[in-house]
C-alpha cells in the first residue's frame, strides 16, 4: 500500500491545477496510515486537510523532526507519507573534489574555538591562515573553514583548489557565480525542486549588512538539510564556537542558494 516511488508533485495540491491522481494517492495513503476517514475523491477538500493535520500531529519527517501542523502538503509531509526521499549520504553523489572536501569537513566536526567565542584556537587558526587571514584578528571563519576543506581535498588529489580565496560569504558567492565550471542553484529554485541540491554543495545565506554564513550540505531529505558548518553552534548562529553537524536547516532558510563545485 505504501508507494515508495511516487515523486513529490511541485504543483500545490490545493491548486486547481493539481493532479487528481496525486490527490487520490495522498488520500489513500492518509487512510492507510490511520489518519482518515477520507474519501479518495481526487479533490483537496476540508476532510483531506483535516486528515493531513492528523498525520502531521502523529508523525515526524524522515530524519525524526516534528512536522508543521498546517494542513499543507509540502515536501517534508509528502516524503514522510510516501518515503520517496531517503536521506542521501556522501556516496549518493558522484565522487568529486566537492564530495572529498565534505569528507574532510565531516572529520572536523567537534573542533572548538579556544577559548569559546574568540574565533581562535589551534585548528581554527589554520582555517584562517588558509585564506590569508591573520588569526590574531579573531575574524569570522565559516568561509575559511570551507576553503581549508577544499584545500585538503585538492592536495590529496594533486589538484588546484578552485574556490575563490576570500573570507567573505558574499564575496565568495559573487566570485563563484562568475566561474565557468561552477553552477548555482538559487534558494527559491531549490525550494521548488529539492532534487537539484546534492551532498557536497555549499549553502550560502545573506543576513543583510554584508553579513552571511556558508557551509556544506551533507545530506538532504525532502526540504530538510543536514549540514556541516564552521563558526557555528547548536543554535545555528553564524558566530558560534566550532565545527558542527546540524540537522535544523531547511531549504527555505537558504535565501541566497547553493554552490556546486562538483565539476572539479
What DSSP string describes 213-260?
A: EEEEEEEEETTEEEEEEEEE-TT--SS-SEEEEE---BGGG-SSEEEE
pLDDT per position as a tens digit, 168-187: 999 999 999 999 999 999 99
DSSP 214: E
Reported confidence tier of residue 117, pLDDT bands at 50, 70, 90 = very high
Nearest to 228 by CA among 140, 104, 100, 121: 104
Is residue 2 over pLDDT 50? no
Q: Considering only the top CATH level, what class is 20-82?
A: mainly alpha
pLDDT score recorded for residue 106: 86
How confident is the model over 250-261, as a mean pLDDT? 96
**pLDDT by residue (tens digit) across 71-89?**
998 877 887 888 644 333 3
Residue 193 has pLDDT above 70, yes or no: yes
Query: Is 97:162 a contact under the CB 8 Å cutoff?
Result: yes
Q: What is the CATH number of domain 90-260?
A: 3.90.1720
- Give me the mean pLDDT over the 231-254 stretch: 86
How many angstroms separate the CA atoms of 163 and 149, rounded? Answer: 11
Domain spans of the chain, in order of start: 20-82, 90-260
pLDDT category, 209, cuts 50, 70, 90?
Answer: very high
> Could you check whether the bond before residue 18 is cis, i.e. omega within 30 degrees of 0?
no
In whole angstroms, what is the distance from residue 68 CA to residue 71 CA? 8
Torsion of CA 18, 22, 23, 27, to 10 degrees: -170
Euclidean distance between CA atoms 95 and 264, whole angstroms? 10
pLDDT for the residue 215: 97
- Nine cell digits for residue 146: 570551507
- Examine the pLDDT at 91 and tell me if it is beyond 50: no
State what percent of residues in the chain have pLDDT above 90.
59
What is the pLDDT averaged over residues 128-135? 97
Of 11-15, 153-157, 250-254, minimum mean pLDDT range: 11-15
pTM: 0.68
pLDDT value at residue 62: 60
Amino acid at each position: 500500500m505504501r508507494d515508495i516511488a511516487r515523486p513529490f508533485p511541485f504543483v500545490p495540491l490545493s491548486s486547481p491545477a493539481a493532479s487528481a491522481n496525486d490527490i487520490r494517492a495522498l488520500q489513500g495513503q492518509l487512510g492507510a496510515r490511520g489518519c482518515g476517514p477520507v474519501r479518495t475523491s481526487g479533490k483537496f477538500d476540508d476532510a483531506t486537510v483535516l486528515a493531513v493535520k492528523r498525520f502531521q500531529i502523529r508523525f515526524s519527517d524522515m530524519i525524526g523532526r516534528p512536522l508543521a501542523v498546517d494542513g499543507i502538503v509540502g515536501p517534508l509531509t509528502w516524503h514522510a507519507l510516501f518515503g520517496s526521499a531517503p536521506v542521501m549520504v556522501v556516496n549518493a553523489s558522484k565522487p568529486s573534489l566537492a564530495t572529498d572536501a565534505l569528507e574532510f569537513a565531516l572529520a572536523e566536526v567537534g573542533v572548538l574555538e579556544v577559548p569559546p567565542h574568540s574565533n581562535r584556537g589551534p585548528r581554527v587558526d589554520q582555517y584562517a591562515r588558509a585564506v590569508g587571514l591573520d588569526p590574531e584578528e579573531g575574524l569570522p571563519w565559516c568561509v575559511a573553514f570551507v576553503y581549508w576543506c577544499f584545500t585538503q581535498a585538492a592536495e590529496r588529489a594533486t589538484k588546484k583548489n578552485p574556490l575563490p580565496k576570500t573570507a567573505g560569504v558574499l564575496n565568495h558567492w559573487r566570485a563563484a557565480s562568475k566561474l565557468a565550471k561552477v553552477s548555482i542553484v538559487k534558494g527559491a529554485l531549490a525550494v521548488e525542486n529539492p532534487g537539484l541540491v546534492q551532498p557536497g554543495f555549499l549553502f550560502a545565506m545573506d543576513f543583510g549588512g554584508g553579513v552571511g554564513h556558508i557551509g556544506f550540505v551533507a545530506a538532504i531529505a525532502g526540504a530538510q538539510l543536514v549540514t556541516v558548518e564552521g563558526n557555528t553552534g547548536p543554535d545555528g548562529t553564524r558566530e558560534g564556537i566550532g565545527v558542527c553537524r546540524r540537522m535544523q536547516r531547511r531549504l527555505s532558510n537558504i535565501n541566497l542558494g547553493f554552490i556546486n563545485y562538483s565539476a572539479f
